Structure 1
Amino acid sequence: MKPLKSANPLSARRLTRYYATALLIIAGLTIASHLLLTYVLQHNQGTAAIINVSGRQRMLSQRIASLAAEYQLGDMTARTAMMTATDEFEATEARLSAESRLSTSRDTETQQIQSIYVGSENSLEAEANGFIADARLIASLSPADPAGATARTRLFEAARVSLLGKLNTIVQIHQRETERVLAELRDLQLCIIGVVLATLMIEALVIFRPMIERIVFYTGEITRLATIDPLTELLNRRGFLERCEVERVRAERHDRPLCLLMLDADNFKQINDTYGHEAGDEMLRGLSVFFREVLRSTDFAGRLGGEEFAILVPETDLPGAILLAERLRETVAIAKTRFRNHLIKVTVSIGVTSVSTELGGIERALYESDLLMYQAKHAGRNRVVSSRAHSL
């Protein structure tokens, strides 16, 4: 019996390492994706908060300017509301300025925001402080006081143009930054997805494909071993009968002849008693070699048990099967099998019959050929007996 060969050179240990590595890569990418997404969400939450605060500042600046105009017209309740709005504007401005100064990021958007907030006489911080100072000055004077006219002019101008423009610019920069970060996140996610898919493809090719090949190979090998005789590597009784049934159906469907040969080694017990069972096993292996030399590729042989063999001969009528049996008998009779220092000869007795569904199919043919084989033995061994009562 030939030893089993692996279906793939990759060992189970290497496959396990590959599989574990692939899982670690996927797990690492999943964790990285989660951390990245968490960072982006936190960043966007902070950006959204700044955008909301900046929007609030724009609204407050417009409200303060509107309340200043109402106060100028003599509405004294507008003064209190203006002071409250100014206090809120000042607190919010202090927060935005502090965040801008504390930021250590060197990206373009952050530098643009810092240049708008601080660093010059026209910075947003200076504009906001001037706006707050003008609002408080207006609130501290009576509506008719001429000293408040200049402050109101600056306040209205800042609310309509300079302060409003800078706050709008801040919001636009933050929005662009958010869009940029989201675009980078999409690109990175696509890269991660690509790496994961590539890892899965490599995993499928390097790990699962060899595993499947092994499973298919060993499943086929187990199936083969279930129908093969381990000593002679011919079909065993089960495998032979299964093949016989397939050929019987095919022969019946196409109306083709089919014959069966039953063989038994003559005086096999004497060989075992004289030379030992190892010699008997070697003789049986030798018979299987003779079968392969004589039989056609369409014929197939099986070991039914002990020293008893059967051969199914498709596409052959009874006279042709008898000639094949005789050729096989002669080949075995003139051959010698070497066992250690001995040359051992053996002969075979063969029974030949045709297979017909009308006459009982394979089981009937096996029974009849077995009887014919024993007739050959009783007639002197080393001969062929057929169902036509021919003895050669």
Structure 2
Amino acid sequence: MQSDHPITVNDPGRLLTLTYVVSLSIIAILSLVVHFMLDSVIAEQNDTGKIVNVSGQQRMLSQRASLFAVDYLLSGSEKSQRLSIAAIEKMKQNHQFLLSEHFEALEKGEPSPLSETLLNLYFYFPSDVDNKIKVFEEQIKAVLTQEAGAAMTLNSTKSLKFLQLAESDLLIPLHNIVGQYEKESREKVDELRHAQNIVLGIIILTILIEAFFIFRPMVAKVSRFAEKLQRDANFDFLSGLLNRRAFQIVAQQALAYSQRYKRPLSVVMLDIDFFKRINDSYGHEVGDKAIKHVAKILKMSSRNADCVARIGGEEFVLLLPDTDRAGAFKLADKLRDRISNNPLDVDGKFIDITVSGGVSFVMDEHNSIETALSQADDALYKAKQGGRNNVQLA
């Protein structure tokens, strides 16, 4: 039952005409895509060159500001004072330019355009460049306001704290930022070039196909499209299980069969315990892995005749033909135990996952599967109230 497609695509022939028209235009469209991709490569290289240049200036400006500040302390030169201030101001302007898109995105409530690596370099320990530039600026300006020319001032640890930043604490992270910008630039350009080559290859392939195999490729394309529609209509993209809509269709068919031939039919609902805590503690990516992990165990532990579906965020349902209440409870508890004893392995770190379950038996008087689902959901609620990681009967 799990492999059935309750929803089918009828009369795909009307798509044939549209596919034929599209195929006549595809070469021109792909040619335009190649053109725009080439423009994107050029624009990306120009933008990257500017960013890399500006970020590279930061290293030089930090050294320039600190050297002129030291010279001011030693000689009292007003020129060195001005040059140091100019360097630090330019460094501040460059920093604002490099992070302008980041702060604009935050103001709009949008995700930062910076990569995770750059975010770590700019805002998090140990690099924390954003904060260190502010500290560096404050220390430089504080030094430049001191009375210059005194040897004791030069030997003052407090006065020369900025040198530690300029020599390593700030310089090394700035160097790493330049390297990261260069790395990400190469990756973006390589991706665009790779995509451009792929599209160019598609153009050549399309010319050959349209020259020698017009009809058969169109039919194959329609077939693939119909298959994709069937898949998307019936299956949950994350877990690979049936989705709620497809489950209801299969379940209603199973209910009609059960009532007609007087065969037992049971429903089991399972819900991952403390799923929000998993997302909050480990991130949504791990949460998705937890859903896939549970789905895999359910699929591997069920019979071919059983129907397994994901009908909610962390909620699963099993439809068990030819299974009475006791058998359904036994299977649900076995699944609960199997999930509990098979923690999720995330890069060598094991995360315990448990589920709570509710079991209901489909009665003859049930007109729809929704009644049995509602009863199983009530039993699931009791299992949650009973401490979780247990199964309750409706």
Tell me the TM-score normalised to structure 2 length: 0.45
Larger-Rg structure: 1
